[in-house]
């Protein structure tokens, strides 16, 4: 069958412009000088590759892939690789910039990058994905490196792909280089706690925000949109702390239970059902659009970009939004959220637990030593809580919403570092 290019998504705000609009506001509040502004706004390097891969039917197909390095001011660039049929360069550019800000907010010594390949991993065999991953790695072998650019999983990729990437990179170097990639399987130098790290960080920042708002977790309700790695772990860990998860959703639809969904059961079900909740009996089906605007205290968007937009933001009832996904709120929705007095724990803060534990994995690889799960979780929690307090303090100081405060904290740090390092 001939591969069909996906149709472009209409009505979608350009994520790079969405990122830049917030960046501009924060830069103005900070009084950033023009020179630094120009340095920070432009991605350092954008690589487009076209890699030929032999498919199972013997035919060769050429895949387009990207690696965007937004900044290396704070250190080697860091960021995941996304496999999706609709991934596009401006999206990867935005995601790369968000990695720069995320690493700065959570105070780890990395710049930001992101990769992507236009492909549909769910319709490809494991062998095809392996050859594609190796071909992509091979074409970027001069970009990647433990002191240069360190990839990790993102949507459509996981430990399996990271293992192939590490192996392919290591082959070209003639020795095993664990630290070139994070999010690896445990036996290959992965870190304990990495798989659940993003969801755990979402839970930690949700609880920190609830504390500021005087909300009691055990008397609060939430919905989690997206039940992949981030959403499922966030839901499970929030439920363990007493939050009643009334609704969850994935690509198969949205699921609601007035008494709270049994998250452990939902995870067990999805794990035995190809990763999907389709047919889950512990809840009623509901309209996916209505899930986002349901009458709950906390909304956790944990899937893709641009789900909270001017088309539905008016109807949102939650008091608190905790962004597990990257860019789930479109720029145009920000003002209405602020007018409604909803607190947002923005993506570059709320989901930074993933890259934080990636950093711990890289540190362990370089030490040649393994930390206990307790050590990983305790340190990640400390990083998250400190980052939350930094952003909260900036929001008070500058009298801005948490999102702009997070950009202020990040831009200020990168700008200061740039001043010390200097340019040409």
Among 25, 108, 152, 307, binds ligand GLU (CB under 6 A): 152
Maximal C-alpha separation, the chain: 62
CB of 191 to ligand GLU, least distance (A): 10
CB 288 within 8 A of CB 254: yes
| Residue-wise burial string across 276-290, b where 16 or more C-beta atoms lie within 10 A, e elsewhere | ebeebeebeebebee
Nearer to ligand GLU, 18 or 351 (CB): 351
Residue 326 lies near ligand GLU (rule: CB under 6 A): yes
CB of 115 to ligand GLU, least distance (A): 10
CB 133 within 8 A of CB 161: yes
* Structural element, H or E, at residue 139: helix 126-139
Binding mask 219-258 for ligand GLU (x = CB under 6 A): ----------------------------------------
Nearer to ligand GLU, 249 or 358 (CB): 358
Is 419 known to be catalytic? no
CB of 230 to ligand GLU, least distance (A): 9
Helix then strand then coil, % of the chain, to nearest 5? 50, 20, 35
Nearer to ligand GLU, 184 or 319 (CB): 184
- The single residue of 93, 102, 114, 244 carrying the catalytic annotation is 114
HSE at residue 412, side-chain half, CA atoms within 13 A, is: 19
Nearer to ligand GLU, 82 or 131 (CB): 82
* Distance between CA atoms of residues 385 and 140, nearest Å: 35
* Distance between CA atoms of residues 359 and 348, nearest Å: 15
CB of 231 to ligand GLU, least distance (A): 14
- 87 DSSP assignment: -
Torsion angle, alpha carbons of 124, 285, 254, 262, to 10: -100
CB of 38 to ligand GLU, least distance (A): 25
Binding mask 173-192 for ligand GLU (x = CB under 6 A): ---------xx---------
Strands (E) across 288-420 are located at: 298-301, 320-322, 343-345
**Token reading at 329:** 């709120």
Residue 131 lies near ligand GLU (rule: CB under 6 A): no
Residue 354 lies near ligand GLU (rule: CB under 6 A): yes
Residue nearest to ligand GLU (CB): 80
* Distance between CA atoms of residues 418 and 415, nearest Å: 5
Q: What residues between 54 and 83 interact with ligand GLU by CB under 6 A?
A: 78-80
- Report the interface residues with ligand GLU, using CB under 6 A: 78-80, 152, 154, 182-183, 326, 351, 354-355, 358
Catalytic residue set: 114
């Amino acid at each position: 069958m001939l591969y069909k290019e996906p149709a472009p998504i209409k009505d979608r705000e350009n994520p790079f412009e969405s990122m830049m609009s917030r960046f501009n506001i924060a830069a103005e509040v900070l009084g950033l000088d023009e020179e630094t502004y120009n340095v920070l706004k432009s991605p350092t390097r954008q690589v487009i590759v076209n890699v030929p891969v032999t498919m199972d039917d013997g035919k060769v197909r050429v895949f387009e892939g990207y690696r965007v390095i937004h900044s290396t001011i704070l250190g080697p660039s860091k960021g995941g690789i996304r496999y999706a049929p609709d991934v596009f360069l401006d999206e990867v550019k935005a995601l790369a910039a968000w990695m720069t800000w995320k690493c700065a907010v959570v105070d780890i010594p990395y710049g930001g990058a992101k990769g992507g390949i236009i492909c549909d991993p769910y319709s490809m065999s494991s062998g095809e994905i392996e050859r594609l991953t190796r071909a992509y790695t091979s074409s970027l072998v001069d970009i990647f490196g433990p002191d240069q650019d360190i990839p990790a999983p993102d949507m459509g990729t996981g430990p399996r792909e990271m293992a192939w990437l590490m192996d392919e990179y290591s082959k070209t170097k003639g020795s095993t280089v664990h630290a070139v990639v994070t999010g690896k399987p445990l036996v290959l130098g992965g870190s304990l706690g990495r798989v659940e790290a993003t969801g755990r960080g979402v839970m930690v920042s949700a609880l920190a925000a609830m504390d500021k708002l005087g909300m009691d977790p055990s008397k609060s309700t939430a919905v989690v949109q997206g039940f992949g790695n981030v959403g499922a772990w966030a839901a499970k860990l929030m439920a363990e702390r007493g939050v009643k998860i009334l609704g969850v959703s994935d690509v198969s639809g949205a699921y609601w239970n007035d008494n709270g969904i049994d998250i452990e059961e939902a995870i067990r079900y999805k794990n035995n059902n190809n990763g999907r909740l389709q047919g889950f009996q512990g809840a009623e089906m509901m309209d996916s659009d209505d899930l986002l605007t349901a009458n709950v205290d906390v909304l956790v968007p944990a899937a893709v970009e641009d789900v909270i937009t001017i088309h539905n933001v008016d109807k949102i009832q939650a008091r608190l939004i905790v962004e597990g996904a990257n860019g789930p709120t479109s720029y145009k929705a920000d003002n209405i959220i602020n007018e409604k007095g909803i607190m947002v724990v923005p993506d570059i803060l709320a989901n930074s637990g993933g890259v934080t534990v990636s950093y711990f994995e890289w540190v362990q690889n370089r030490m040649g030593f393994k930390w206990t799960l307790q050590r990983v979780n305790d340190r990640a929690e400390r990083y998250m809580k400190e980052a939350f307090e930094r952003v909260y303090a900036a929001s008070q100081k500058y009298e801005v919403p948490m999102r702009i405060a997070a950009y202020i904290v990040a831009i200020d740090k990168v700008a200061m570092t740039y001043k010390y390092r200097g340019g040409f």
